[in-house]
Amino acid sequence: MRRFSKIVSTTSILAVAITGLGLASTTVSAAEVSQANIEKGQAIAFSRKKGNCLACHTIKGGKLAGNIAPPLVAMQQRFPDKAKLRAQIYDSTVANPDSIMPPFGRHKVISDEEIDLVTDFIYQL
């Protein structure tokens, strides 16, 4: 009986250790994907053919920024709910009918996937 308990105990420890390693590698992969998304989102936001956010906003790392719209800083404090930031990028006229910001999603200026990438980038500013 002792031997059986020892085998079960050893097997349980190995199972927990293997599961822990699996979760650790998943966490690292998620962080890498997140950084990759941020970089892709920045490329779209800075692209004059896509997001062109710099035409109106000052953004850290951007060149020749506009000053028509507010600077994009402290975005997590300004938009605690990331979904609201995404909605703002998708169509800002929903929250403010007088907004001069183009409705990127509604007018299909950029795809839904690109809006998600831009949101990831802007949210981390």
pLDDT tens per residue, range 16-74: 344 444 444 333 344 454 899 999 999 999 999 999 999 999 999 999 999 999 999 99
Q: Could you give the CA distance from residue 65 to residue 2 in angstroms, rounded to a whole number? A: 72
Please report the pLDDT score of residue 21 as a whole number: 42
Tell me the pTM.
0.72
- The confidence score (pLDDT) of residue 91 equals 98
Q: CATH no. for residue 87?
A: 1.10.760.10
Report d(CA 43, CA 37) in Å as an integer: 10
Number of domain units in the chain? 1
Domain that holds residue 65: 2-123
C-alpha distances out from residue 58 to 2, 44, 53, 97, 119, Å? 69, 15, 8, 23, 16
Question: DSSP 3-state assignment of 32?
Answer: helix
